[in-house]
Amino acid sequence: MIAIEHLLERLSRLLTLAASLCLVAMMIQVCADVIAYNLLRAPIPGTAEIVAYYYMVGACFLPLPLAELRNSNIHVDLFYNMASWLGRRSMLLLAYTAQIAFFSILAYQSGIDALEAIAKGEVVFGRIAVPIWPGRFFLPFGFGLAAVVSLLLLTKICLQRDWEPGMEDNEGDSPISKETR
Amino acid sequence: ETYSAAASWVETHGITVNKLRNYAEYVSEDTDGNIEFEVFSGGSLAPAASMASALRDEVAMYGHITSAYMPADLPLDNVLNDLVFIADDPMAAAFASTEVKLNSDALQQEYADYNLVFGTGYSMTTYYLICNTPISSVEDLEGKRIRTGSSSQIKWAEHVNAISVSVPATEIYTGLERGTIDCSTGDASFLTSSFQLQDVAKHTTLVSLGTHNSGGEFFNGDFWQARTPEERRILLDNLARAEAELQVDWARQAETALEEAKSNGVELIEPSEDLKQSMEEFTEQFLENLPETSMEERGVSDPSELIDAYIEAEARWKDLLSDVDRTDSEALTELLINEIYADIDVETYGVN
Amino acid sequence: MDRLEIGLLGIVVSLFLIALRIPVGVVLGIVAFVGISSITSLKAAWGILTAIPHNFVAQWTLSAIPMFLLMGYIAARTGLTVGIFSSARILFGKVPGGLASATVMASSIFAAASGSSVATAAAFSRIAVPEMLKAKYDPGLATGSVAAAGTLGSLIPPSVLLILYGIFTETSIGALFLAGVIPGVLSAAIYISMIMVRSYRTPEIAPPDLTTYSAEEKKAAFRDIWPLPTLILGVLGGILLGVFSPTEAGAIGAAAATIIALMRGALTKDALSQALTDTAIGTATIFVIAISASMFASFMGLSTVPTQFAGQILSVVESPIAIIIALSIIFIVLGMFLDGISLLLLTTPIMLPILKSAGIDMVWFGIIAIKLIEIGLITPPVGINIYVIKSVMGRAVPLGAIFRGAFWFIAMDILTLGILIAFPVVTLFLPGLMR
Ligand code: NA
Ligand code: NA
């Protein structure tokens, strides 16, 4: 169990690292494009397409598993905080079951779409032809691992009486405490 | 029964008005309410780039597809859209492409592979060069940043040493206002109703940059096959009517749009001789290279036959249209039905 | 069950499931999937999953959102925000709610150039909220100020939403831009007045800074005032001079923050990697909700709830003023569940003919409509600006506190709306000069 947990966390971090690289690449390429067309009158061909179909897609979908591990998704815990232990356990079971269903159907469909995109060699045409099918795979990876992570968390809810989402996480915590330290 | 009909064009756009709203009404009347279309405009059901898959997957049963958004799915259709860079008569281009798309086996196969049944084509009116600075010669164009709307226009921009840039539709206005771009290609409506560019772009060069006929109106294959032959006939003939009315409306709007822009201080510039000549050189070269570049870039097998079929059809339609009042949509509907749709066998068309 | 009933049931079930702590994005996505398959077919429901997630995200114009988030994280993590906020405390510490008012002013100015409300909220939530919390401001006030000031991004020109409204309704974009200026400034002024009055009456929500600063401390603070203003003015200047577009501005801002941090020697490897990880997680969190909200909007469209609801209300009103008030109610109610663009798209078909036949000025109505749509960004249960701030602040501020904080600003927006409706001249004065 602990080994699986570590493996999933490492994989999630790896995907988030890839998303971070997308962000850095987006920043650098857009700036380079702005400089190139202002100074050299020669923009970098395909910038808008690469930003949209690779960097954006990577930055949005790849961090999903880590976001789940860190309990960063947006939820309303007003009633949760008022509920009894049993009520809270039931809510968590329901929430994580729903989450597994949600990420699984998205992983399944986006996986099929990605395979179809390879088969037809999906491409967009700007000043240059940009193949875009590889970026399609960010979706099944992100959704798929998020589903597996949700399954792990569901197992923890079933097995560990006192465990709550995000409790061992001291990183995604309050931004103020960190910066004023 | 009620079926969804979808387009990514906004509510006020001709495609939505004529091809969806009016069409839905005609079909409802002629089928005594057996086929009702519920219209979703502006991409409210699915984004523009997903319209083909939305029709395939029954999210909508009828709708408008802009094939330029899905070049890998509908490559041959895109070749036709590349080709209309040479079109100088939007109405003839519209009807010719409708004829070709209905009759070309290669195109029909492409649509069938996506479980789509083609209904009608269209053509926007002539694209011009809308700029915030006066442009009349080839020299003026050098180094100018131009927002282009099609691959052919990009190739042309490169030919005249301008820089083509991809700018989303929502940024054309502010781009021209602040000078992040110098020009945008666009038809006359870009100046007025559709993008209001007359406020910020005071110079329009009347050089023809072709038209657009990317995709058209399609039905979901299963929906089509489930219709009776009589219903299919009604669906097709009313498409002819909607298409005729659309092209009449657009032609009229293009004319008034230019007048309106002019009265609002937009300078309409005739291209200089050298620009005209450069244009001729480009189109000639472009046409010659098109089969090869299509095979190379779009990955299709030799489209020469399709290209020839279109050129022939366009010439035929110019001829046919010279004998008819181009503002009379009833006469044009009749012409479309007689010349094209009557020949479609509703027992077999789109049925595999 | 007919589709209208399925749509209404979908709304009720969504609210219930959200209350049970199921993530908002998961709820909207699943309800949309089940709802679409029961209205049309299972095939269509899978079809929506093909049509929306990838193509919704793969948009060049949306890239400004992660980039402005990154700019905010880098600026905050490397301490670029400290100098200006300490100086602001020294200067305005005794003014009731001074920091919140300063934030509203700064983000309105930023919003003016950025053109997008969500991008503005993304940029300012990390920059301003933690600084206000450090000064012991009430979390609701701190986050509410940023969420609400962000909404002015679409009202003060340039604005993507005003351009879209212009395109949808064939209204002059230039006139709309001019018309948005006074209502935008008025909104900001009303926000600031509310902050001052509330802070004066309840000092606990914005404790005045009673420290006496030594000359040394003052000097130190003022010496370090430059980084954030330089960053923001650089981004604004570049947009206004046409050096780069509002979409590109995000990347320029992020890079400029990185360079300023480097120059100050504040850019540690740790700070950069933290900023990137936080941005990545924030981006994923926000976009999952946005994607699900978009699928939910398709479900709503298919269910005909928005059109029938609007049609019912509009069928009982006749006078122009009653139509405007009816439309305001429709927009506020639908804006709780739908994003602004979906809301405009789904209601235009019914709204447009009614407005035209009643002879209502489309520029005037446009500004009212945008104001209403912007309110939707901060109303529960689907309020994207609120979610941006929540995803940036993590556990530091509960979601409920942000919505409660935003409630005061919504009340002020209603007041502003009342003024805009009662006195069309507020909106139409500037465009009138143009004609
Ligand atoms: Na703005
Ligand atoms: Na809302």
Which residue in B306, B351, B316 sits closest to B95, CA to CA? B316
Q: Which helix (H) or strand (E) holds A130?
A: strand A129-131
In the block, tokens 């502006």 appear at B42
Mode of pairing for the β-strands spanning B36-40 and B2-6: parallel
Given a contact cutoff of 8 angstroms between Cβ atoms, the answer to whether B345 and B229 are in contact is no
Q: Which two tokens stand for residue A154?
A: 């569901």
Give chains near A: 3+ CB pairs under 8 A.
Answer: B, C
- Residues of chain C with pLDDT > 70, as a percent, come to 100
- Distance, in Å, from the CA atom of C153 to the CA atom of C161, rounded to the nearest integer, reads 9
A156-170, B89-103, B240-254, C315-329: least confidently modelled range: A156-170
Per DSSP, the three-state class of A124 is strand
Contact C47 B173 (CB under 8 A): no
DSSP string, A12-68: HHHHHHHHHHHHHHHHHHHHHHHHHHHHSS-PPTTHHHHIIIIIIHHHHHTTHHHHH
Contact B71 A124 (CB under 8 A): yes
Decide which of C381 and B344 is more confident: B344
Per DSSP, the three-state class of A127 is coil
Taking residue C125's Cβ as centre, other Cβ atoms within 10 Å add up to 31
What residues are neighbours of ligand 2 (ion), with CB under 5 Å?
A: C 336, 376, 379, 382-383
Average pLDDT over residues B244-263: 97
Given a contact cutoff of 8 angstroms between Cβ atoms, the answer to whether C266 and C68 are in contact is no
Provide φ and ψ at B119, rounded to 5°. Answer: -110, -70
pLDDT at A174 over 50: no
pLDDT at A176 over 70: no
Output the pLDDT for position B213. Answer: 93
Output the pLDDT for position A14. Answer: 97
Q: Write the single-letter amino acid at C199.
A: S
pLDDT tens for C54-75 read 999 999 989 999 999 999 999 9
- Distance, in Å, from the CA atom of A147 to the CA atom of A8, rounded to the nearest integer, reads 11
Q: Which residue of B lies nearest to A125 if distances are taken between CA atoms?
A: B151
Ligand number nearest CA of C152 is 1
Contact C283 A19 (CB under 8 A): yes
Q: Which residue of B lies nearest to C51 if distances are taken between CA atoms?
A: B50
Mutate which: B170, B190, B195, vs C, most C CBs within 10 A: B170
Output the pLDDT for position B315. Answer: 97
CA Rg value for chain A: 20
- Distance, in Å, from the CA atom of C431 to the CA atom of C427, rounded to the nearest integer, reads 8
- Distance, in Å, from the CA atom of B39 to the CA atom of B52, rounded to the nearest integer, reads 16
Output the pLDDT for position A169. Answer: 61
Mean pLDDT of all residues belonging to chain B: 95
Rounded to the nearest whole angstrom, what is the distance from the C-alpha of residue C72 to the centroid of ligand 2? 24
Output the pLDDT for position C435. Answer: 59
Instruction: Tell me the sheet residues that pair with B65.
Output: B216
Mode of pairing for the β-strands spanning B183-186 and B145-147: parallel
Provide φ and ψ at B108, rounded to 5°. Answer: -60, -35
Output the pLDDT for position C408. Answer: 96
Q: Which residue of B lies nearest to C43 if distances are taken between CA atoms?
A: B57
- Distance, in Å, from the CA atom of B199 to the CA atom of B213, rounded to the nearest integer, reads 28
SS (H, E, C) chain B: CEEEEECCCCCCCHHHHHHHHHHHHHHHHHCCCCCEEEEECCCCCCCHHHHHHHHHCCCCCEEEECHHHCCCCCHHHHHHHHHHHHCCCHHHHHHHHHHHHHHCHHHHHHHHHCCEEEEECCCCCCCEEEECCCCCCHHHHCCCEEECCCHHHHHHHHHCCCEEECCCHHHHHHHHHHCCCCEEEECHHHHCCCCCHHHCCCEEECCCCCCCCCCEEEEEHHHHHCCCHHHHHHHHHHHHHHHHHHHHHHHHHHHHHHHHHHHCCCEEECCCHHHHHHHHHHHHHHHHHHHHHHHHHHCCCCCHHHHHHHHHHHHHHHHHHHCCCCCCHHHHHHHHHHHCHHHCCCCCCCCC
Residue A23 confidence class, pLDDT cut points 50, 70, 90: very high
Per DSSP, the three-state class of A125 is strand
Average pLDDT over residues C205-222: 88
Domain ranges for chain A: 2-171
End-to-end CA distance of chain A: 34
Residue B59: CA count within 13 A, CB half-sphere: 32
Provide φ and ψ at B118, rounded to 5°. Answer: -75, 140
Q: Which two tokens stand for residue B85?
A: 């860079």
Average pLDDT over residues A76-97: 94
Sheet arrangement for strand B116-120:
B36-40, B2-6, B62-65, B216-220, B116-120
Q: Which residue of B lies nearest to C351 if distances are taken between CA atoms?
A: B11
Taking CA atoms, A57 is separated from A50, A90, C194, C219, in Å, by 10, 34, 40, 46
- Distance, in Å, from the CA atom of A96 to the CA atom of A153, rounded to the nearest integer, reads 7
pLDDT at A63 over 90: yes
Q: Which two tokens stand for residue C230?
A: 């330089």
- Distance, in Å, from the CA atom of A122 to the CA atom of A133, rounded to the nearest integer, reads 5
Rounded to the nearest whole angstrom, what is the distance from the C-alpha of residue B209 to the centroid of ligand 2? 44
Domain ranges for chain C: 3-434
Residue A173 confidence class, pLDDT cut points 50, 70, 90: very low
Contact A72 C393 (CB under 8 A): no
Rounded to the nearest whole angstrom, what is the distance from the C-alpha of residue C111 to the centroid of ligand 1? 5
* Complex prediction ipTM: 0.93
pLDDT tens for C131-156 read 999 999 999 999 999 999 989 988 98
Beta-carbon contacts of C101 under 8 Å, excluding residues fewer than 6 positions away, are C92, C95, C192, C195, C196
- Distance, in Å, from the CA atom of C110 to the CA atom of C240, rounded to the nearest integer, reads 11
Residues of chain A contacting B145 with CB distance shorter than 8 Å: 37
Beta-carbon contacts of B29 under 8 Å, excluding residues fewer than 6 positions away, are none
Given a contact cutoff of 8 angstroms between Cβ atoms, the answer to whether A55 and A63 are in contact is no
Given a contact cutoff of 8 angstroms between Cβ atoms, the answer to whether C184 and C413 are in contact is no
Ligand number nearest CA of C110 is 1
Within 276-315 of B, beta carbons closer than 8 Å to A belong to 297, 299
Mode of pairing for the β-strands spanning B145-147 and B36-40: unpaired
Beta-carbon contacts of C204 under 8 Å, excluding residues fewer than 6 positions away, are C138
pLDDT tens for C264-290 read 999 999 999 999 999 999 999 999 999
- Distance, in Å, from the CA atom of A101 to the CA atom of A83, rounded to the nearest integer, reads 24
Four-residue CA torsion sign, B3, B8, B11, B16: negative
Contact A121 B297 (CB under 8 A): no
